[in-house]
Amino acid sequence: MACFVGVYGMGVMGQSLALNISHHHYTLAVYNRDGDKTREFMQNKVQETDQITPSYSLKDFVAALERPRKIILMVKAGTVVDLVTDGLLSYLEEGDIVIDAGNSFYKDTERRMKHYAEKGIKFFGMGVSGGEKGALLGPSIMPSGNRDVFNDHLKQLLKDIAAHTTTGDSCCDYIGKGGSGHYVKMVHNGIEYGDMQIINEAYFMLKNACGFSNAQIADVFEDWNRGRLQSYLVEITSKILRVKDPCGTGELVDAILDEAGQKGTGMWTAMDALEKHQCVPTMCEAVFARNLSAQKDERVYAAREFGKQAEGQNLSPKILQEEISTFVTDLEQAVYASKIMSYAQGFSLLQAASDTYQWNLDLGNIALLWREGCIIRAVFLERIKRAYDEGKVVNLMLTDEFKDEIKSSVAAWRRVVIAGIAAGLYVPTIANSLLYFDGYTSEKLPANLCQAQRDWFGAHTFKRVDKPRDESFHHIWEQM
């Protein structure tokens, strides 16, 4: 009997997704360019009850699928996707469907869609979030491409294998045309970078400004996870801080080198925001923080040259014991307000992309797709959905859902940033989230002087506050 769907790529994510599909009673074929991986998967992971057919050649893999063929690619983003899709082309027929479920750049996805369309083959870009566990138990799924093909051939499968909320809603839905699925996943990852760095800075301040042990910091995060900051990332952070080092004494986190890796999706988000003239400092600073962390040897040298005890710095001492409780309360407010800013930036970027490419993104629905299964899942996302249900959103910070909380947090937020800077601690996302708030809520900024400078050296012209905005002016600032 022909299989309903095929999975190409037997890495960790491909194996987990294949098992997820099988557990939902769909027949599937699997293939990997290195046949040993397929054999290992079949021997070690697949049960007799799983309806999985292994294939050891592309020809056999494609032949094992019912028409129209549906192939999910779980391969590394970049040139590998092009190599795989080019190899598939000679075996596919008009009407077949190929779904790229990796972390591909959305513009690459749109290029591949056009290439496949010339052959009559439907290509989909599909963001998948949740890691290995999510792929197995139910990830957040963000597909884009032809809506009719999605509804007729993919909708039921993808909704079944996605994560589900406590009310039974699937964390998968059609995103839009073109590469919008991969774009939404890219911004999701940018927000993820921001979330993680905000949490990292809270940990850093509790450890270095308050002098807390890892166990005490874990207690703080556990407490936060019972409130409005409840999220997957806060939850796992509280658990990470309690794990003992199997190779030494103390907690494992203290034995981990402070160099953070990255795969590029955060950088893509920052670069895309710049192209669209959007302001996303929280995400950008999170990327920069990882870049700076990688410069370990330089940082060690610089620390010796400009140590925190160096003459003239006059850094404030740690938070006084009697002030620690108040500081922890302030820090929760600063973290929450920074989180709102990060999501406000991310959703503004999504709206800008939707307008630019005419994707007609349903941003409230996208928030719910992230409610379960993905790395940034949090109760907070339900509030974003409510904010969009209330009407048009210019910026999340301006909505009734969030603005009162922001107002009540600003004083504490400022105290936290001041304390961090006074102690010489690196807290870029919390600080720049506050600066974003200050800039966005400023009726006037010093851009008038910037424009005067531009007009002086480049005759770029300027607009006047007392004239219509469609009129431009140039001034001869200095006689030659």
Band (pLDDT 50/70/90 cuts) for residue 322 is confident
Residue 375 lies in a domain: yes
Shared-domain flag, residues 144 and 236 = no
Residue 160 lies in a domain: yes
Shared-domain flag, residues 150 and 190 = no
Shared-domain flag, residues 200 and 328 = yes
Shared-domain flag, residues 155 and 220 = no
Closest CA to 395 of 456, 351, 458, 364: 351
Shared-domain flag, residues 398 and 371 = yes
User: What does the pLDDT read at residue 298?
Assistant: 94
Residue 413 lies in a domain: yes
Check: CB of residue 376 under 8 Å from CB of residue 184.
no
Which residue, 174, 202, 221, sits at the end of a domain?
174
User: What residues contact 419, with CB distance under 8 A and at least 6 apart?
Assistant: 205, 209, 316, 319, 327
User: What does the pLDDT read at residue 316?
Assistant: 60
Which residue, 121, 154, 174, sits at the end of a domain?
174
The pLDDT tens digits for 70-107 are 999 999 988 999 999 999 998 999 999 999 999 999 99
Helix (H, G, I), strand (E, B) or coil at 109: helix
Radius of gyration from C-alpha coordinates of the chain: 25
Could you tell me the CA-to-CA distances from 41 to 38, 47, 411 in Å, in that order? Answer: 5, 10, 55
Shared-domain flag, residues 160 and 261 = no
Residue 81 lies in a domain: yes
Full residue range of the structural domain in which residue 86 is found: 5-174
Paired tokens of 114: 């056009």
Shared-domain flag, residues 134 and 279 = no
What kind and span of H or E run contains 470? none
Shared-domain flag, residues 132 and 215 = no
Provide the domain count of the chain.
Answer: 2
The pLDDT tens digits for 422-462 are 989 999 999 999 999 999 999 999 999 999 999 999 999 99
End-to-end Cα distance, the chain: 85
Residue 9 lies in a domain: yes
Helix (H, G, I), strand (E, B) or coil at 178: coil
Shared-domain flag, residues 221 and 150 = no
Residue 141 lies in a domain: yes
Kindly report the CATH number assigned to the domain that includes residue 39.
Answer: 3.40.50.720
The pLDDT tens digits for 365-386 are 999 999 999 999 998 999 999 9
Kindly report the CATH number assigned to the domain that includes residue 219.
Answer: 1.10.1040.10
User: What does the pLDDT read at residue 46?
Assistant: 85
User: What residues contact 159, with CB distance under 8 A and at least 6 apart?
Assistant: 170, 172, 173
- What is the pTM for the complete model shown? 0.93
The pLDDT tens digits for 172-231 are 999 999 999 999 999 999 999 999 999 999 999 999 999 999 999 999 999 999 999 999
Closest CA to 97 of 34, 213, 20, 8: 8
Q: How many Cβ atoms from other residues are within 10 Å of residue 171's Cβ?
A: 25
The pLDDT tens digits for 44-61 are 888 877 799 999 999 999
DSSP-assigned letters across all residues of 356-417: HHT----HHHHHHHTSSSSTT-BTHHHHHHHHHHTS--S-GGGSTTTHHHHHHHHHHHHHHH
Residue 454 lies in a domain: no
Band (pLDDT 50/70/90 cuts) for residue 169 is very high
Band (pLDDT 50/70/90 cuts) for residue 268 is very high
Closest CA to 106 of 213, 206, 184: 184
**Cβ density class 14-37: b for 16+ within 10 Å, e for less:** bbbbbbbbbbeebbbbbbbeeeeb
Q: What's the CA gap between 217 and 207, in Å, rounded?
A: 7
Shared-domain flag, residues 132 and 225 = no
Q: Which residues are catalytic?
A: 185, 192
Q: Indicate whether 347 pLDDT > 80.
A: yes
Would you call the peptide bond into 143 cis, given omega within 30 degrees of 0 as the criterion? no
Residue 279 lies in a domain: yes
User: What does the pLDDT read at residue 279?
Assistant: 98
DSSP-assigned letters across all residues of 25-46: T--EEEE-SSHHHHHHHHHHT-
Q: Indicate whether 312 pLDDT > 80.
A: no
The pLDDT tens digits for 179-193 are 999 999 999 999 999
Shared-domain flag, residues 121 and 66 = yes
Paired tokens of 333: 């407010």
Helix (H, G, I), strand (E, B) or coil at 218: helix
Shared-domain flag, residues 218 and 152 = no
Known binding residues for substrate: 103, 129-131, 188-189, 193, 263, 290, 454, 460
User: What does the pLDDT read at residue 319?
Assistant: 83
Which residue, 174, 209, 225, sits at the end of a domain?
174
